[in-house]
A and B are shown apart, each in its own frame.
Chain A
Amino acid sequence: MSDDQYDPRSTDGRLLAVLVALDPIADATTHPIDPITSDRARTLLEEIMSTPLIDDAAPARSDVSPAPRGRRRWFALGGAGVVAAAAIAFIASNGASPTVTATELGLAPIDPVMSMCMAFEPSQLAGVEVAFGGTVTEITGDQASGSTIRLEVDRWFRGGDSDVVDLTVPAGFTAALDGVDFVVGTRYLVTAVDGVVTSCGLSGPATPEFEQIFTDVFG
């Protein structure tokens, strides 16, 4: 901003300055603003992201299969759910014997504030390295110390053949996918790239429509 733009002698400059004096929250010390990085913001945004979506418009799309929740374009809220979804490490092991085909893949931390989802397109699935369908059988650990989500795999689309997959969630993050907590007994379709579960609608609860897309893409 150039100084002359707000020349205090200009009409706009004078007016602005007096209006700023009337700003009820001008004093940042007595009216602190909750930063996006706060626990409060995280909790609020997680709650919002886990609210079931209601398609209240777009009748023109009624002929299209409804997308599973969480697949819609989302913007980075910085919520822990987003972080956890993208930061879940992917470890596949063959049954209870991790030495058989145990695969431990790397973790790619992301900047929760800068991350962003593109609108979901089935073609995006073509680029994933791992894709399977499985039911959550157990969630162990907690947010403070880190947790593990165990899935019993019933269908491999790509990239593996083990019966069990463990998704490891680092300490500090919730066991959630696109802001929605994993639930024991629920079946999910999960994809991963570079050992990290892909979110933004590329993984999610297994609906018939979502599974059909997987079948179409992976053959």
Chain B
Amino acid sequence: MAAEVYEPLQRYVRRRIDAAAADDVVSDTLLVCWRRLDDIPEDAGLPWTLGVARRCLANDRRGERRQANVGHRLAAQPIVPPGAADETDLVAELHTALAELPDTDREIVLLWAWEGLPPRDIAVAMGLSANAVSIRLHRVKQRLAERLGPSRDAGFVVVGGHTFDRWLRRQIRRTGGHLPGERIDGRKEDR
């Protein structure tokens, strides 16, 4: 199971704090898992582990500060290589919208988009009911989608000179095979 969680755990943590601090959080998280082996649900090891990591981040004062500033972190990163104006506008808009979300909502939508978890696994990671997560995720997606506005280019958003579809696949390849919306273990998300 550690083999299953080790790499996605690193991604989860490194998306939320800088690489130097991430190592400590990954180590702390694995230690908690080792000590609480008997508590790890058989069918939800990864989301359970990410829930531990989330609490480790919150418990770590530095982590807490950084996590609270995830919006700033987002703001500091280079977003997309220069391309069509459309792309920059879109990404910048969503960027702002994300930073404005309440922490829980932002975490839910990022667990969906970045970690690729389905609602039932997000629920495990967040310590919420699957129902509550589904409702909140739906609302947050709606809210963010409104910020994006209607799709352009006759239905295709042009990003980086490609149609959205090609661009999305390129993004997926860049992440090293982590397909958004697909679980790390290869199971398809039920949405």
Contact = CB atoms under 8 A, between A and B. Distances in A.
A16 B14 contact: no
B7 to A, nearest CB: 5
A114 B4 CA distance: 10
A54 B35 contact: yes
Interface in A1-38: 1, 5-9, 11-28, 31, 33-36
B164 A13 contact: yes
A28 B181 contact: no
B145 to A, nearest CB: 5
Contacts of A77: 2-3
Interface in B126-168: 141, 144-145, 148, 151, 155-157, 159, 163-165, 167-168
B162 to A, nearest CB: 10
Interface in B70-101: 73-74, 77, 79-80, 87, 90-91, 94-95, 98
A16 B34 contact: no
Given A16-B180, A53-B35, A78-B2, A22 B168 contact: no
Given A24-B74, A76-B3, A78-B3, A15 B175 contact: no
B174 A28 contact: yes
Given A24-B77, A28-B174, A73 B37 contact: yes
A17 B175 contact: no
A48 interface: yes
Contact of A49 (B34, B36, B151, B157): B34
Given A25-B15, A33-B7, A8 B181 contact: no
Contact of B7 (A14, A35, A48): A35
Contacts of B159: 17, 21
A21 B91 contact: yes
A11 B145 contact: yes
B20 interface: no
A14 B145 contact: yes
B14 A20 contact: no
A63 to B, nearest CB: 17
B176 interface: yes
Q: How large is the interface on B (under 10, 10 to 19, 20 to 34, 35 or more residues)?
A: 35 or more
Interface residues of A, number: 50
Given A22-B95, A36-B3, A72-B37, A16 B168 contact: yes
A92 B172 CA distance: 54
Interface stretch (B57-65, B106-114, B117-125): B106-114
A56 interface: yes
Given A15-B148, A20-B113, A77-B2, A9 B15 contact: no
Interface string B7-22: 1001100110001000
Nearest to B31: A48
Contact of A36 (B2, B36, B168): B2
A45 interface: yes
B117 to A, nearest CB: 13
A134 B110 CA distance: 54
Contact of B3 (A8, A72, A113): A113
21 contacts: A6-B168, A8-B163, A9-B156, A11-B145, A13-B164, A15-B148, A17-B157, A17-B159, A17-B164, A18-B90, A20-B180, A22-B94, A24-B15, A25-B11, A31-B19, A44-B26, A48-B34, A57-B36, A58-B38, A74-B37, A77-B2
Interface of B: 1-3, 6-7, 10-11, 14-15, 19, 26-27, 30-31, 34-40, 45, 73-74, 77, 79-80, 87, 90-91, 94-95, 98, 109-110, 113-114, 141, 144-145, 148, 151, 155-157, 159, 163-165, 167-168, 171-172, 174-176, 179-182, 188, 191
